Structure 1
Amino acid sequence: MNKHSFKYWRKVMRRAQDEKARAIIFDIDTPGGYAGETADLITRVMPDLTIPSIAFVNPEATSAGSMIAFGCDKIYMHPRGTIGSTGIVSGSGGTIDPVMRSKIESLFSSYVKIVAKEKGRNAEVMKAMMFREQEYEFAEGEVKVPKGELLNLVADEAVLEHEGKPLLADGICDDLAAVLAAEGMEGVEAVRAEPRGFDAFASWVGFVSPMLISVGLLALFMEFKTPGVGIFGLVALVAFALFFVGNNLDGNVSGSWLFVLFIAGGILVILEFWVIPGTFVAGTVGVVMMGVALVLAMVDVDMLDSFKDTQYGLISFSALVGYPIIYMTIGLAVAVLGSILTMRYMPSLPMYSSLSVSKTLPPGTGEENCNSELVGKQGIAVTQLRPAGRVKIGDSVYEVTSQHGFVEPNTAVQVVSADGMRILVDLVG
């Protein structure tokens, strides 16, 4: 199970609810998934369903899969099915800090109690699957879990009687048709929910978001390096449009206001490069705005609601923005690497060669000495220099750049250097 699966499931469950389906059946075959998203699903989304929810373990429901089955109204096992081993592990494969592990397990212990009470299940069964601190015994000793191990039930064990009711599962079924028959729904049409159209597009965009970020940023870099071409700017616009639209359809925070924030940040970066170079304020603010817009656009709306829910406190801030930041970091790293390679090999590219002049000009025929006669001359600032602006020297007005930042109008300045690219001035005296 991946993060996009959870988003699609939530959407399907709400649609089934709205269309008054007879039931929702989870055909489960998974080694696990994400704890936070699973907790959100079984404590916030599934309890709101007014139609029956049924889990068919076919054949594996390990870790997060067992939690989803536990949160359903009914559970059926495939004859070769297994369910359990729900211990919480680090998504990166590393060791969880002991204090953090205690906090997480305490929270999930609460979730188990909530779900067990609502679904009429034995909370000790789920705890035995999740925690190893004590030994457990069920079904008059037929199922034993030694201390230090996690409970994992096969089909025959899951249906054993315990305290007057099935230990966990309501029955054993060979296939989905048998599940329907067991629930008195023979002949009912079963619609398999699979992402198509916009749903498939949204899932695809959510999956390739890092690549869209890297393509967009690299295209922007190419546009700055080859101004006037326009093709790279168009590529960047398409990449980021797909990113924001796709993430919006994928159930993330992404919306028009974030796209506007991103564009505004891009405009500030352009101003920094071409209008007010050297201040770094506009560029820095612009980069921050663009980064914030990209990260927030990938935040799951439902996860955000869980984060703001003070009753359960299901989602931590790191869980909320962790993957968006990781995706953003990957996209940025690939874009930086692509920019370095582009700088290294761009002169040999056909497009770049057609835009550049490879012929060497003889000394004295270029603009290397353009305006060199102005060096040492004084003038008066006609406009503010921030640091760029205009200065009147003699009878002519020149575009100049201040050597030391902001200069007020009508201030006397002196030319300290001049070449074909810019005229640099400093305060007189």
Structure 2
Amino acid sequence: MAAKIDRRFYIFIITFLMSVLVFGQAGLSQEQNATVYKFSIRDDINATSWRNTKQAYLKAMEQNANVMLIEMNTFGGMVNFADSIRSTILDSPIKTIVYINHNAASAGALISLASEKIYMAKGSSIGAASVVDGQGEVMPEKYQSYMRALMRATAEATGRDPKVAEAFVDEDVDLPTLKEDGKLLSLTSKEATDIGLSDGEVSSLDEILTLENLTGSSMIVHQITWVDQVIGFLTNPAVQGFLIVLIMGGIYFEMTSPGIGLPFIVALVSGILYFAPLYIEGFAANWEILLFIIGVILLLLEIFVIPGFGVAGIAGIVLLVCSFAFSMVPNESFDFSMMPPNFLFRSFLLVILSIIGAIILSVLFGKSILNSRAFKRLVLADEQASSQGYVASTFDNEVIGKEGIARTDLRPSGKVEIDGKWFDAVALGGYIEKGTAVQVERHENYNLFVRKKFEI
């Protein structure tokens, strides 16, 4: 009887061990056949980083990737975009591993804490996540409180010590073995590994794959497309300022010359290049683009319909400035709670300086641009000379220099009376009110070009 029990016991043990071996090998094979999707965060956390992260996770899902591997080297950036990246990582069904290759400061620390695994290259660091402005000055308490809550919640969601995460933001958190009183917490790769915040110090990506049993996996490296590169270029502040100059310059030249021509096309294309990338990046909202359209309409009304320059013109300029500036700054219905105050100020300053620059360039170089060889290639320059049988007008050059009266408002086109005869005329220098004395400066085809008499 005892022999039978022993045999059954031995058979059970052997069967159990064989099952463990079979299932273990199956699990190992499954891990080795996994797909790893890799992308990098090497710059400041901003709209471009957020867009690249979204694109990476979407493509990883399309490729049925099992693991997302993020190689990180950043000193931080904008909290709102870091929070969006954090949420994407937490909500994704794909396992995320962050490889800190040198730095994960501030917003980078928040993103790292959202991942399932953190590995750090030897000599790397993580921490110092207090909210600061562009000059490095610590922001008021409401910003720090929000950041502390984000850090705690993220650490709790991924099973890490929330007190350590909070110490990255709050210098008053007591961690005597890790930091001095009154100092923010920053950890080296060894310190982070010793307290369990990091899953290990490594020398390369291959070592991470070995530790995660992914040595036989296929790896897909995220590629930045030309569209991403163009959007990144167009959202550069210097390029945005140049586009504003082109928009305002185009509007100016279009308003000072009759008809729709090249200046209008330049302004239109520049406006599209300015607003489209910001709209895609989540900066420009519909209402901000609407402000721009209304501002242009008010300026047109002021110049061509309403006499003088008053409320409509001033309101149009204000709306244009606001539409440009607000489009640069992410906000939810004027909620700038997570934006450093000087960030919005810098946006307004850039817009105002660009508009002033456009005005100065238009006044100084306007005539030379219109008469330049490059510009003339874009317009019809042929003349219909009288020697070839063409008749330019029904009046001769004796009318040039004569005085007359505006019989209608010139906006800029209208009617003038000279020597008892009425002629079609175009105002030079802006709006001319009905009844104003005018003087003929030149004529082209069937139009006289006139100015107010006191301007001569």
Same fold per superposition (TM over 0.5): yes
The residue matched to 1:170 in structure 2 has which SS? coil
User: What SS is found at the alignment partner of 2:218?
Assistant: coil
Comparing 145-154 with 244-253, which one deviates more in the overlay?
A: 244-253
Compute the displacement of 1:147 (Å).
0.6
By how many angstroms is 1:169 displaced?
A: 0.4
Counterpart of 2:180 in structure 1 is: 146
Counterpart residue number, 2:299: 269
Contact 2:166–2:173 at 8 Å: present in 1 too? no
Please give the residue correspondences for 1:335-350 in structure 2 after superposition, counting only pairs within 5 Å: 335-348=355-368
Q: 2:367 matched to 1:333?
A: no
Aligned pairs for 1:269-308 (under 5 A) are 269-278=299-308, 280-295=310-325, 297-298=327-328, 300=330, 304=332
SS of 2:339's equivalent in the other structure is: helix
Cα offset, 1:117, TM superposition: 1.4
What CA distance in whole angstroms lies between the structure 2 residues aligned with 1:130 and 1:386? 61
Alignment of 1:224 onto 2:267: no
Pairwise CA distance, 1:78: 0.8
Alpha-carbon distance change, 352 to 263 in structure 1, aligned in 2, over 3 angstroms: farther
Matched, 1:124 2:167: no
Amino acid at match of 1:215: L
CA–CA separation in structure 2 for the residues paired with 1:35 and 1:249: 19
Say if 1:391 and 1:398, in contact at 8 Å, map to a contact too: yes
Q: Does 1:32 align with 2:71?
A: no
Aligned position for 1:358: none
Aligned equivalent of 2:91: 48
* CA–CA separation in structure 1 for the residues paired with 2:341 and 2:92: 28
Give the aligned residue type for 2:130. Answer: G
Q: Percent identity?
A: 25
Distance 1:118 1:299 in 2: 30
Q: What CA distance in whole angstroms lies between the structure 1 residues aligned with 2:256 and 2:372?
A: 10
1:159-200 CA-to-partner distances (Å, cap 9, x unmatched) read: 114xxxx2x101122112222222222232332324212222
| Conserved? CA contact 1:210–1:328, under 8 Å | no
Q: Distance in 2 between matches of 1:53 and 1:279?
A: 60
Equivalent pair of 1:299/1:320 in contact (CA under 8 Å): no
1:198 aligns with 2:230: no
Measured against aligned partners, the alpha-carbon deviations of 1:38-85 in whole angstroms (never above 9, x if no partner) come to 23432x332211111111111221222222111211100112222222
For residue 370 of structure 1, what is the aligned residue in structure 2? 403
Structure 1 pair 116–278 and aligned structure 2 pair: CA distance change class (3 A): same
RMSD of aligned alpha carbons: 4.1
Matches within 5 A, 1:253-268: 253=284, 262-268=292-298
Q: SS of the counterpart of 2:235?
A: helix
Correspondence 1:86 to 2:123: no
Alignment equivalent of 1:172, drawn from 197, 201, 212: 201
Matched with 1:110 is: 149
Bigger Rg, which one: 2
**Kept in 2: contact 1:54–1:74 (CA 8 A):** yes
Give the deviation of 1:222 after TM superposition. Answer: 3.4
Distance 1:294 1:35 in 2: 22
In structure 1, how many angstroms separate the alpha carbons of the residues matched to 2:75 and 2:372? 50
Structure 2 unpaired stretches of 5+: 1-43, 382-396, 441-449
Task: Supply the distance in 1 between the matched residues of 2:257 and 2:319 (Cα, whole angstroms).
Answer: 24
Provide closer, same or farther for how the CA distance between residues 84 and 200 of structure 1 changes in structure 2, counting only shifts above 3 A: same
Listed as ranges, the matches of 1:317-328 within 5 Å are 317=337, 319=339, 323=343, 326-327=346-347
Hey, what's the Cα distance between the residues in 1 that align with 2:203 and 2:134? 33
Matched residue type, 2:336: S
Q: Which residue of 2 aligns with 1:67?
A: 110
Shift of 1:145: 0.9
Question: Given that residues 24 and 54 in structure 1 are in contact (C-alpha distance below 8 angstroms), is that contact kept between their aligned partners in structure 2?
Answer: yes
CA 1:332–1:2 in 2, change beyond 3 Å: closer, same or farther?
A: farther
Q: Are 2:39 and 1:10 aligned?
A: no
User: Distance in 1 between the 2:364 and 2:265 partners?
Assistant: 23
Aligned partners of 1:213, 1:194: CA distance in 2, in Å? Answer: 31
Provide the C-alpha distance between the structure 1 equivalents of 2:83 and 2:246, rounded to a whole number of angstroms.
34
Per the alignment, do residues 263 and 391 of structure 1 end up closer, same or farther by CA in structure 2, a change over 3 Å counting? same
More displaced 10-residue stretch of structure 1: 315-324 or 147-156: 315-324
247, 251, 271: which one pairs with 2:278? 247
Question: Deviation of residue 33 (structure 1)?
Answer: 1.7
Alpha-carbon contact 2:234-2:240 (below 8 Å) kept: yes
AA partner of residue 134 (structure 2): G
